[in-house]
Chains A and B, each alone.
Chain A
Amino acid sequence: MTQSNVTKILIPSGALGLGYDRDALARGVAEGPDLIAIDGGSTDSGPHYLGTGTSKYSRGSTKAEWRELMLARAQAGVPLVIGTAGTCGADDAVDWLVEITREIATEEGMSLSVAVLKSGQPVDLMTKALTDGRIKPLAPDIGINAETLQSCTNVVALAGAEQIQAALATGADIVIAGRTTDTATIAALPLARGCHAGAAWHGAKIGECGALATTSPNTGTIMIHFDDAGFTVEPMGEAARATPYTVSAHMLYENSNPYQLYEPGGHLDVRGAEYDAIDDLSVRVTGSTWVPSDTYTVKLEGARSGGYQTVSLVLVREPRYVDNIQAWVDDIAEKCTAKAKTRLNEAFTLELRLIGANATLGDLDQNARHGSEIGVLGIVTAPSEAASREVAKILNPYLLHHPLSEQEEMPTFAFPFSPAEMSRGEIYEFCLNHVLELDDPMDAFHLEVLEIGV
């Protein structure tokens, strides 16, 4: 069957910074994609990145891979789109990638139009939206109020296809987007061209992690062909194959419901999807549906300070202590907490976490076996850096010399570091699991076009 309206999206890798097979990318470029899309992050690495507006991946790795993708884009002559730039998609992380893009453009002698889509939300506007009843909880409802929103260092809204389409409509060579859904950068162009909506979102979900939906996940690169009736998955790695099993099983990945996927403006339902091998390499999928919602909502993510943390690690190798380790740490936690409370006015939490392998004696330990030693990680969290360090210092004498029983010689335990306390600085926590209602999809987003390079 000949399909009209075919739109080919090339996905180099599951995320910028993860790496991919260069030959697979070259093969994809040679096939003439309509757009190159890559994901720049997610919440999966934890709240630190959104809390601080920084990237998980190194600047060097990011720049090296982004340069290759910018060169691939120039060769293919099509737009290059990145979603959730800089791991978290906060405005500062977007600026970080824009800066890297400027450097590369200058170094490579490129002249480029770059659409920058920002997803950051001013907390005052979010507080008003909460008052106006435009912010609704998702399950599990973690309960928020105006104070929660005011305490966030960053709040982002997840852009969908509409906002990416607006960025593409500027005619930009490159789109650098803040927080987007994992699928939006892939689904946007097929949807704009009138491809089947269920297929556009379903294919985008299958492609979002690159070649993860194939037999060779590490090759990274995959092409998704979208058309009027369905989509086709074509791996770019030489040894990679897509099978009905690898493709359909990807709907399970990082998804609490394997049949539905909620996106801005509606949800995808794959219960009617059929997966057919069209050769020994590619899989065609039809029958998934897109169900528009009554109101247009975007998901929110927010992170706020969880206090300051100081950790201390001690290694216990003496067999009698290893055998009784839980009693030992319980006694320390009780005594240390009581003592610290008499010397400090700030609230704090102290946790002693048991960690074990063979770190105490290294190669000297001829009898090392799992279970012969235990690491005790002391974790102190408090509202201020000073208080967390103070409690960790009160903990130190216990970790160094605390006896199991009163009637024994004072023991000493192994510390790998001096000073014994290590500051982890400010820690963050996710504090929003909500959606925001919008009258117009662009209401919560900011789009700007920059001319960069020579």
Chain B
Amino acid sequence: MTKLSDIAFKIRSKNAGPFWLTIDIFCESPQRFHEACALAETAKVARALGAEESELKRYEIADLNVLKFSIPRPQIQGTRFDRDMHGASFATLLADLKTTEGA
């Protein structure tokens, strides 16, 4: 079973202002990029991030071999229940995404 981190060479997450979180998935070739796009199905990504699918923004940037997702921050940055001031750790949730069984 392949993980997204086996396909991408870098996955990073960061705040995009206090209300948005953005995750960039960098791939080293068009082939890897297409594999990443196929693995990271929108519904699967939304589930992993605990986000509503309708709120998830998906960008497939073929020129850069980058797949990008943005969601409203699960907790507004810095409020009492926020655990990650800069949004650093959300990338690992997508790094662990696996190919669908049998696919």
Q: Summarize B's interface: helix, strand, loop or mixed.
A: mixed
Check: A276 CB closer than 8 A to any chain B CB: no
Which residues from chain B contact A309 at a C-beta distance below 8 Å?
80
Q: How far is the CB of B50 from chain A (nearest CB, A)?
A: 15
Determine the distance from Cα of A138 to Cα of B16 in the docked complex, in whole angstroms: 13
- Residues in B16-66 with C-beta less than 8 Å from chain A: 16-20, 22, 24, 26, 55, 57, 59, 61, 63-64, 66
Inter-chain contact B76/A429, CB cutoff 8 Å: yes
Check: A202 CB closer than 8 A to any chain B CB: no
Interface residues on B, range: 20 to 34
Which residues from chain A contact B79 at a C-beta distance below 8 Å?
47, 306, 429-430
Q: Summarize A's interface: helix, strand, loop or mixed.
A: mixed
Inter-chain contact A430/B18, CB cutoff 8 Å: yes
Check: A337 CB closer than 8 A to any chain B CB: no
Pick the residue among A45, A142, A255 that contacts B16 (CB under 8 A): A255
Determine the distance from Cα of A257 to Cα of B24 in the docked complex, in whole angstroms: 11
Most buried by A among B18, B77, B86: B18
Q: How far is the CB of B65 from chain A (nearest CB, A)?
A: 9
Inter-chain contact A256/B16, CB cutoff 8 Å: yes
Please judge, given known A-B contacts A379-B80, A429-B78, whether A248 and B18 are in contact too, CB under 8 Å. Answer: no
Determine the distance from Cα of A398 to Cα of B99 in the docked complex, in whole angstroms: 44
Check: B70 CB closer than 8 A to any chain A CB: yes
Which residues from chain A contact B64 at a C-beta distance below 8 Å?
245, 248-249, 252
Inter-chain contact B77/A258, CB cutoff 8 Å: no
Inter-chain contact A381/B80, CB cutoff 8 Å: yes
Which residues from chain B contact A430 at a C-beta distance below 8 Å?
18-19, 76-79
Check: A363 CB closer than 8 A to any chain B CB: no
Inter-chain contact A254/B19, CB cutoff 8 Å: no
Please judge, given known A-B contacts A252-B66, A258-B59, whether A353 and B83 are in contact too, CB under 8 Å. Answer: yes
Determine the distance from Cα of A139 to Cα of B64 in the docked complex, in whole angstroms: 27
Please judge, given known A-B contacts A43-B17, A249-B64, whether A256 and B22 are in contact too, CB under 8 Å. Answer: yes
Determine the distance from Cα of A256 to Cα of B68 in the docked complex, in whole angstroms: 9
Which residues from chain A contact B17 at a C-beta distance below 8 Å?
43, 254, 256, 433
Please judge, given known A-B contacts A306-B79, A309-B80, A430-B78, whether A258 and B85 are in contact too, CB under 8 Å. Answer: no
Inter-chain contact B14/A253, CB cutoff 8 Å: yes
Q: How far is the CB of A74 from chain B (nearest CB, A)?
A: 35
Determine the distance from Cα of A162 to Cα of B66 in the docked complex, in whole angstroms: 34
Q: How far is the CB of A27 from chain B (nearest CB, A)?
A: 29
Inter-chain contact A44/B78, CB cutoff 8 Å: no
Inter-chain contact A46/B77, CB cutoff 8 Å: yes
Write the chain B residue with the least CB distance to A429: B79
Q: How far is the CB of A311 from chain B (nearest CB, A)?
A: 11
Q: Give A307-351 as 1s and 0s: 1 = Cβ < 8 Å from B's Cβ atoms.
A: 101000000000000000000000000000000000000000101
Which residues from chain A contact B66 at a C-beta distance below 8 Å?
249, 252
Inter-chain contact B72/A140, CB cutoff 8 Å: yes
Q: 13 more A-B contacts (CB under 8 A) besides A258-B61, A351-B80, A428-B78?
A: A43-B17, A43-B18, A43-B77, A44-B15, A47-B78, A245-B64, A252-B64, A258-B59, A381-B80, A427-B80, A430-B76, A430-B78, A433-B17
- List 6 tightest A-B contacts by C-beta distance, closest first: A46-B78, A256-B70, A256-B16, A47-B78, A256-B20, A140-B72
Taking Cβ atoms with an 8 Å cutoff, the residues of B that contact A are 14-20, 22, 24, 26, 55, 57, 59, 61, 63-64, 66, 68, 70, 72, 76-81, 83, 85-86
- Give 20 A-B contacts (CB < 8 Å), ordered by A residue: A46-B77, A47-B18, A47-B78, A138-B19, A140-B19, A140-B72, A245-B64, A249-B64, A249-B66, A252-B24, A254-B17, A256-B17, A257-B70, A301-B18, A349-B80, A429-B78, A430-B18, A430-B78, A433-B18, A433-B19
Taking Cβ atoms with an 8 Å cutoff, the residues of A that contact B are 43-48, 138-140, 142, 245, 248-249, 252-259, 301, 306-307, 309, 349, 351, 353, 379, 381, 427-430, 433
